[in-house]
A and B are shown apart, each in its own frame.
Chain A
């Protein structure tokens, strides 16, 4: 079967026929209208952004284009001809490639082998290796085809994914939140590649919720809000504020203003070093950190730089910390169990909600028991009535959309479960709240509520440590930041003094270097922060 040849119309923007046209595409899932009559047109060689908040329907739309989800209504046209895409294989045959947010690579194989495996049958491995070399050089992707994937950084792994997509010679490349795991410097290099690709006629659909990136890269932008395409604009002529208003429908609420009244030291990490627990883990190296009552400190960093290990050492899930390295309220808890630490006021919200923060098959009422010891009566009997009352209270107070205390945790959406878990820990009245990715996957309203609750908790005298990959969130919530890179912690810096360039440099592990260079990268400070200014 001959594949459609992309070279024919690889003259940027000259073709009058749109590469892809979506007309009134709708998709409904139980309980949510993911896409509501969305229309969208991408020209050859266009860098087209699809912008929207979490839950606005971006991913569903892309899955429809890629054939992974079938629309309820609406039509697709590919290079002017109507088409129904039934599965990803057909999409690839048409010339559509997609780079997912989460990579699917074999760690124990080389770059070339991974690419070869992704291409399907009919190509010799040696040819693929040569082609990998040629294409990666051509697009500035800098990859050694013979290197093992296990030794690659996150940015390099993403390049392997992109390379794999490019070798199918796509006419349309879809990237889903490609910069979520990249440092600002890596982002800029990705943009160079994408611009070169577009110049050759390949259309790019760039899914993002980051305004600066969209403005820096794209020439056209469709804004999704609650499943509907509310506008198609030229992002180069928009401001962060105007885009943000399109995306949110209204100006975002101002962040709480906090007057810091700091109290006693609550948490103190002193030279905490821990060997990597398992293969692929990160060793913690000499981590020092102190938190005082009333403080909210953020830990920034590209994921996989020791965040998981630091959190496990803090929560007590990993109890290998040498004596004297972790102090809670002045007491050495280095070897204490999670329960003992909780009794001393340390509550933790893990990143994984299902299976770690909650047991999927158990009802919400039973899930309160995981961290709330007061629900256990004398002799180890459960206080079932109090469990149900607490679950019902959490549902009401944190606006969890669930039928009641008997609903299994696994049937809640990610955002609702997060509200429940964060609520459970905040409601416990901790002295120190450690939260990983507090608002990941939440809609704007829920995210704002959780942030307000965290702030209120700390105003009342608790301390909070927020580990997040979302810089906007850290800037909004925290008073001070540290950066974690390769298991080491940077010095602390007040949020108002943190420049994007500096944080970006720190994220790549260079915090003991001299002055940072001025950045070519897009500014890191959030669109929302600017919109407020």
Chain B
């Protein structure tokens, strides 16, 4: 019989090694999976994990996916460190995209890019922040569970997006497709290189990772947030405001998710459609944890998760495997990571089934 016993302190080595062990296990399980599906596991895995890294196009597409993932996950890391469980980043992402689209649709031929682009970003920030603020108000004022509320607001945001795309914002010359006009080039987020979809949002994500690092580990506000998350009674003892932590965390993550939405809709997409949400808000949760809630870890994790996204697409187009494989791999990764985490804080004890004393049962 095996039993889990808590370690006196979590093993530091295991905590750091966990993501790598989890990745190795994911690949191993993936190999078995491919085998069962009738594909040689070596080739399939290479297609899944290595093919996305080939060539400028590959890296550009990775950046397109990693940018929103990193932005969302950075915000969520701040949130989760404060013990605030915002799982509705997807909704905040959509809200940011809608707000940014509203501004982008107002652009004219005479608009200036240096006014337009900041305005679009600002709208995205405000949109995502407002959507998260709803959660904060409900939690703060009526003590509603932020988990449920933030999740349900995702569906509200999706409905709202559908309403706008099918209704008032529909392009009158769009052959009745549910989509807005194609935004004018002046609203386009500058690309990193001509002919590739990767855009300067990548630098936004890199810069914000540094900002998040400084905020979390070098400022009093970040310290208060962490104490409130780890030891609420110590925060009360120190006199840190739990309400302030709640608002900081939710607004911070909402704003970042909203910004990601704005960059997505005015970057690769160029118009708002009901197909905008592809799960970056939810995958961001996995990214945040795989990245150990650390800004630099999150950058790596977002890259890894993008590989899984693109690998899934390749598996579909070249091997005829279902796209759902991406989700399977993401789930596997999170699952094995949680298992590794458990083993970092607990160790396995072997308990002999028959003990000398077990015979003498007290009556």
A positions within 8 Å CB-CB of B: 1, 3, 67, 84-87, 89-90, 92-94, 119-120, 122-123, 168, 315-317, 337-342, 348, 350, 352, 355-362, 366, 369-371, 376, 380-382, 384, 408, 410-411
Nearest Cβ distance between residue B119 and chain A, in whole angstroms? 28
9 cross-chain CB contacts under 8 A: A87-B357, A93-B357, A93-B360, A123-B363, A338-B239, A357-B234, A359-B230, A366-B223, A408-B9
Interchain CB contact under 8 A, A356 and B359: no
Q: Which 10 pairs across A and B sit closest by C-beta, in order of nearness?
A: A90-B357, A338-B239, A339-B239, A93-B360, A370-B238, A356-B233, A380-B220, A86-B357, A359-B231, A376-B220
Among the listed A122, A317, A358, which residue makes an inter-chain contact with B236, where contact means beta carbons less than 8 Å apart?
A: A317
Chain A contacts for B358, CB-based, 8 A: 89-90
Chain A contacts for B231, CB-based, 8 A: 355-356, 359-360
Nearest Cβ distance between residue A375 and chain B, in whole angstroms? 9
Within 8 A of A (CB), among B209-245: 218-221, 223, 226-227, 230-231, 233-234, 236-239
Q: Is residue B356 contacting chain A, with contact meaning CB distance below 8 A?
A: yes
Chain B contacts for A350, CB-based, 8 A: 237
Number of B residues with CB within 8 Å of any CB on chain A: 26
Nearest Cβ distance between residue B225 and chain A, in whole angstroms? 12
Please, which residue of chain B has its CB at the minimum distance from the CB of A342?
B239
Interchain CB contact under 8 A, B233 and A85: no
Nearest Cβ distance between residue B149 and chain A, in whole angstroms? 25
Chain B contacts for A168, CB-based, 8 A: 362
Given contacts A86-B356, A352-B233, A362-B230, contact A120 B362 (CB under 8 A): yes
Interchain CB contact under 8 A, B237 and A370: yes
Interchain CB contact under 8 A, A358 and B234: yes
Given contacts A1-B361, A120-B362, A122-B363, contact A84 B238 (CB under 8 A): no
Chain B contacts for A316, CB-based, 8 A: 239
What per-residue 1/0 map shows which CB atoms of B327-363 lie under 8 Å from chain A?
0000000000000000000000000000111111111
Chain B contacts for A382, CB-based, 8 A: 218-220, 223
CA distance A316 to B359 in the complex (A): 55
Please, which residue of chain B has its CB at the minimum distance from the CB of A373?
B220
CA distance A3 to B361 in the complex (A): 9
Interchain CB contact under 8 A, B237 and A84: no
Please, which residue of chain A has its CB at the minimum distance from the CB of B356?
A86
Interchain CB contact under 8 A, A93 and B218: no
B positions within 8 Å CB-CB of A: 8-9, 218-221, 223, 226-227, 230-231, 233-234, 236-239, 355-363
Interchain CB contact under 8 A, A90 and B9: no
Nearest Cβ distance between residue B282 and chain A, in whole angstroms? 27
Nearest Cβ distance between residue A170 and chain B, in whole angstroms? 11
Chain A contacts for B355, CB-based, 8 A: 86-87
Given contacts A87-B357, A339-B239, contact A370 B230 (CB under 8 A): no
CA distance A349 to B192 in the complex (A): 56
Interchain CB contact under 8 A, B9 and A411: yes
Interchain CB contact under 8 A, B359 and A1: yes
CA distance A336 to B355 in the complex (A): 59
Starting from the known contacts A86-B357, A89-B361, A338-B237, 20 additional A-B residue pairs (CB-CB under 8 Å) come to: A1-B361, A84-B356, A86-B356, A89-B357, A93-B362, A94-B360, A340-B239, A348-B237, A355-B231, A355-B234, A357-B234, A361-B230, A362-B227, A366-B223, A369-B238, A370-B227, A380-B220, A381-B219, A410-B9, A411-B8
Interchain CB contact under 8 A, B356 and A338: no
CA distance A84 to B360 in the complex (A): 13
CA distance A3 to B8 in the complex (A): 37
Interchain CB contact under 8 A, A3 and B357: no
Chain A contacts for B8, CB-based, 8 A: 411
Nearest Cβ distance between residue B81 and chain A, in whole angstroms? 11
Interchain CB contact under 8 A, A380 and B234: no
Chain B contacts for A85, CB-based, 8 A: 357
Interchain CB contact under 8 A, B221 and A380: yes
Interchain CB contact under 8 A, A357 and B363: no
Nearest Cβ distance between residue B307 and chain A, in whole angstroms? 31
CA distance A85 to B357 in the complex (A): 7
Chain B contacts for A370, CB-based, 8 A: 227, 234, 237-238
CA distance A341 to B219 in the complex (A): 22
CA distance A369 to B355 in the complex (A): 50
CA distance A382 to B233 in the complex (A): 22
Please, which residue of chain B has its CB at the minimum distance from the CB of A317?
B236
Interchain CB contact under 8 A, A338 and B362: no
Please, which residue of chain A has its CB at the minimum distance from the CB of B215?
A380
Among the listed B218, B223, B226, B233, which residue makes an inter-chain contact with A355, where contact means beta carbons less than 8 Å apart?
A: B233
Chain A contacts for B360, CB-based, 8 A: 1, 89-90, 93-94
